[in-house]
Amino acid sequence: MKLICRYFLKQHVLQCKRTLIGDILLRSVATCLPPHADEASLYVHWPYCLKRCSYCNFNKYIPRSQNHTVMTECLQKETRTLLQLSQISRISSVFFGGGTPSLAQPSTIAAVLETVSKHAHVADDAEVTLEVNPTPAGKASLRDFTLAGVNRFSIGIQSLNDDHLRTLGRDHNSQHALQTVSEARMLYPGRVSVDVMFALPGQSVKSWESELEKLLPVCDDHVSLYQLTLERGTRLFKQVESGELSVPGDDVTAVMYKSAREALEQAGFLQYEVSNFSKNNAVSQHNVGYWRGQQYIGVGPGAHGRFVPRAVGGDQREARTQTLEPDVWIREVQRQGHGMRRRIQLDHHGL
Ligand SMILES: C[S@@+](CC[C@H](N)C(=O)[O-])C[C@H]1O[C@@H](n2cnc3c(N)ncnc32)[C@H](O)[C@@H]1O
Ligand code: SF4
């Protein structure tokens, strides 16, 4: 949700109030309460990355070494604890995000999914998404992740322009991105999403439009489109502040967003919320769950969740954030079954 550009959300909602998308969006966000008290989606956070991208302020760490066995045990343990605490008996979708969860071992993904299935009902066709970095190093094969239970890939290609990828500090190039998308599409045609960013340093409307022309024929049925947010504390923020780099202004950015929406529409994509587009009805069930105010459980360092802790007599939804730092989180999970940094009770309107 944080990534949704608020400026565009306002503009977009004003603009499409009279359209079908606007109606669906507003109705879903404003009125849909969780359909079933015992149902939720599950978000699992893998906090490690190979390298720090220049724009990123997600909860991620570049470790010297990782203990996959301990991480696996802790993710399983916290999943169990939070399922029991919420008394959720049905998990509608699972999303492995990060960080870079494609650096996790497929056996970790399988173990978490097995724990979920042991404690809740998961439909055979439930959406199970893995975020994948197209980085050539360190990741297991996508096929191994499908054998572990993943049935949807969300690939962080970010850009198909190698200069932009370098500025962003990515450890992949456009060739790696195209290769990963094509590999994923062979495994799960129709269930592959790509993340793309615009309003990048040095990007013009013309170069953005030619990037879209390259992207649309090769992408699958789902696109997440994010306007670059300059996050305080990141290297990119400092580079822009010092004048070393410059990003397009608001007017140019608005034109970029508009031209992307038009290009996607022409390519058969339906915009189902501010940043997400799908064709052939490949809407992300997990994403739609957030917009509809469904309960979700967040497992792993820094994960967010919103659910009612029924096992301890709760009757109100809580917003929970797990402990951020992986080593501290691991110790807390080992000691008490979960690592929790913050919990806030939400009132009726605080979905
Ligand atoms: C959870 S993040 C990272 C996923 C994965 N590690 C990667 O980098 O590909 C999901 C998406 O958020 C977007 N994102 C991250 N930081 C952003 C920022 N500062 N501004 C806009 N979009 C951002 C990127 O498109 C990214 O793929
Ligand atoms: S790989 Fe993704 S999560 Fe990791 S630093 Fe880069 S943008 Fe952030």
Ligand 1 neighbour 200 (Cβ under 6 A) = no
Q: How far is residue 145's CA from residue 139's CA, in Å, rounded to a whole number?
A: 10
Q: Which residue has the tokens 């996790």?
A: 104
Whether 350 is covered by a domain: the verdict is: no
Per residue in 126-156, pLDDT (tens digit) is 999 999 999 877 677 999 999 999 999 999 9
Query: Please, which contacts does 264-268 make with residues 24 or more away whose CB atoms are closer than 8 Å?
Result: 264/212, 264/216, 264/223, 264/225, 267/216
Whether 311 is covered by a domain: the verdict is: yes
Please list the alpha-helical segments (H only) found in the chain.
6-15, 20-31, 68-86, 106-119, 142-148, 162-167, 174-187, 205-218, 235-241, 250-266, 285-291, 326-336
Instruction: State the residue range of the domain holding 62.
Output: 6-345
What is the pTM for the complete model shown?
A: 0.91
Whether 1 is covered by a domain: the verdict is: no
99 closest CA partner among 307, 308, 299 = 299
For residue 347, the model assigns a pLDDT of: 79
224 closest CA partner among 271, 176, 186 = 271
Whether 351 is covered by a domain: the verdict is: no
> Which residues does 193 contact at the CB level (< 8 Å), separation at least 6?
129, 152, 153, 154, 155, 220, 222, 223, 224, 282, 284
Mean pLDDT computed over every residue of the chain: 90
CA–centroid distance, residue 320 to ligand 2 (Å): 23
Reduce the DSSP state of residue 306 to 3 states and report it. strand
Whether 174 is covered by a domain: the verdict is: yes
Per residue in 41-96, pLDDT (tens digit) is 999 999 999 999 999 999 999 998 889 999 999 999 999 999 999 999 999 999 99
18 pLDDT above the threshold of 50: no
Whether 194 is covered by a domain: the verdict is: yes
Please, which pLDDT band fits residue 348 given cuts at 50, 70 and 90? low
Q: Please give the C-alpha separations between residue 329 and each of 12, 137, 299, 300, in angstroms, as whole numbers.
A: 39, 27, 11, 8
Question: What CATH number is given to the structural domain containing 19?
Answer: 3.20.20.70
- Mutation test residue for ligand 2: of 58, 130, 234, the one with most atoms within 8 Å of CB: 58
Average pLDDT of span 100-107:
96
Backbone conformation region of residue 107, classed left if phi is above 0, alpha if psi is from -120 to 50, else beta: alpha
For residue 28, the model assigns a pLDDT of: 44
> Which residues does 49 contact at the CB level (< 8 Å), separation at least 6?
60, 61, 62, 98, 99, 100, 103, 133
Q: How far is residue 150's CA from residue 239's CA, in Å, rounded to a whole number?
A: 38
Per residue in 149-203, pLDDT (tens digit) is 999 999 999 999 999 999 999 999 999 999 999 999 999 999 999 999 999 999 9
CA–centroid distance, residue 139 to ligand 2 (Å): 14
Whether 332 is covered by a domain: the verdict is: yes
Q: Which residue has the tokens 């977009």?
A: 12
Residues paired with 129 in a beta bridge: 95, 152
**At residue 263, what is the residue type?**
A
- Mutation test residue for ligand 1: of 50, 58, 228, the one with most atoms within 8 Å of CB: 58
User: Ligand 2: which residue has its CA nearest to atom 2?
Assistant: 99
For the chain, the domain total comes to: 1
